[in-house]
Amino acid sequence: MHSNLVMSPLPEVTEKSKQIKEKIDINYERAEQQFIELLATENLDKQLDADPALNSEFERALSVAIPAAYQNGAGDDAAHRFLQRILYRINRLNLFWYDDLRHYVNERSPYLYKVRDQIETAWQEWELAQIDVAALQQLDVKQALIERCAEDLDPPLSTDSRYIRDEMSEAGYRHLLAIGSFEGLVESSHLPRILGGAANAVQCTLMRVFQEEYGNGRLSRKHSTFFAQMLNEFGMNTQPEGYFDLIPWELLACSNNSYLISERKRYFLRYNGGLTYFETSVPAAFRSYVAAGQRLGLSNAAMSYWEVHIREDERHGRWMLDDVALPLAEMYPNDAWELVLGYDQEKLMGDRAALAVVRSIRAAEQATLSYS
């Protein structure tokens, strides 16, 4: 007697099934390609008004990727990668790449701004949820910064650092260079974005850091030149972004965070806290890279970039703590905790990226062994 009864599925089951099917149908690579085409479209916003279908596949991928990455526990790596690549493609328009001027036709597009803000809002909420911000607001900021810098200047050797120092092969070293070139060939490009404005001792210290990073105006001494020399030693691509498709999303996130906090002056303290961590911690990490190069019998040129940073960034770390971070903590007593937020967030994101880089190196080494 129940043969004519039709049971309706529960609404939440229907919605979940719909989301799963929609996710399966999403092709992030195709959606990214559509976005790349949008970037090169003349009068993009007018074209979108006339033909909304121009960005239909991209918009559908965006609507799926944001909840998949930021509202789903650990998140979906494919979604993270898609979103960070899109965000980076927008952010890089804030720098000049000495390329075709037509590449910048949409640098002030309202549509691109909307996409950027849509991703950034969800992403930053997700990032900040991993930090106890309320606890940071209760800290003795100056003491917290001093203690953190002391710990990060010479930390215990991690398992991954030990692997790089003692086990990584030459193929792994090349892979490290390929990934490192993403930042190394355009190093410190975010720093000049915060240098303008009123003159004071903090600004002058930041300028000194910038000048040394840029070789005091001599291309032969600019740090990116040393990175290019390392690549040349192995006959590798020395063009910026030459190995873009190898970059883990975790490293793209570090770059995108620097774009965000260097562009928004309200995040000035966060940026300088993050830079304090970066300049303090780099020498310890790079010592493992140099040790690996020496173990592999590589030339000095194949390690030059790491060696320059070990020398200079120890000094830059002291400058950043003593002449930038601590003075800013006195200048902005009510907001000084944001320096620690920037420091801790840079460390958290940097550690996450370092793990991803080592995973990528191990995978590349395994692939080399499989082909040999």
As a whole number of angstroms, the distance between CA 328 and CA 115 comes to 33
* Whether residue 210 is found in the same domain as residue 306: yes
How far CA 145 is from CA of 122, 274, 335, in Å, comes to 28, 11, 14
Q: Which alpha helices (DSSP H) does the chain contain, by range? A: 11-25, 28-39, 44-50, 56-70, 77-91, 110-128, 133-136, 141-153, 159-166, 170-184, 201-213, 223-233, 249-263, 268-295, 304-319, 326-331, 337-371
Asked if residue 6 belongs to a domain, the reply is no
Asked if residue 28 belongs to a domain, the reply is yes
Number of domains in the chain: 2
Domain containing residue 43? 11-128
Looking from the CA of 48 toward its CB, the CA atoms found within 13 Å total: 19
Tell me 95's DSSP state.
S
How far CA 221 is from CA of 98, 179, 229, 305, in Å, comes to 20, 22, 11, 10
* Whether residue 258 is found in the same domain as residue 330: yes
* Whether residue 80 is found in the same domain as residue 222: no
As a whole number of angstroms, the distance between CA 330 and CA 133 comes to 20
* Whether residue 222 is found in the same domain as residue 308: yes
The answer to whether residues 213 and 191 touch, using CB atoms and an 8 Å cutoff, is yes
In the chain, which stretches have pLDDT less than 70?
Answer: 1-24, 74, 372
pLDDT of res. 196? 94
* Whether residue 295 is found in the same domain as residue 325: yes
245 closest CA partner among 51, 146, 237: 237
* Whether residue 124 is found in the same domain as residue 139: no
Asked if residue 193 belongs to a domain, the reply is yes
* Whether residue 187 is found in the same domain as residue 67: no
pTM: 0.92
- Is the torsion defined by CA of 343, 345, 351, 353 positive or negative? negative
| CB within 8 Å of 128: residues ≥ 6 apart | 345
pLDDT of res. 371? 77
244, burial (CB in 10 Å: exposed 0-12, middle 13-18, buried 19+): middle
pLDDT of res. 74? 62
Asked if residue 78 belongs to a domain, the reply is yes
* Whether residue 80 is found in the same domain as residue 145: no
Given 100, 128, 156, the domain boundary residue is 128
Given 98, 128, 158, the domain boundary residue is 128
As a whole number of angstroms, the distance between CA 149 and CA 154 comes to 9
* Whether residue 89 is found in the same domain as residue 140: no
* Whether residue 90 is found in the same domain as residue 141: no
Given 70, 100, 128, the domain boundary residue is 128
* Whether residue 255 is found in the same domain as residue 203: yes
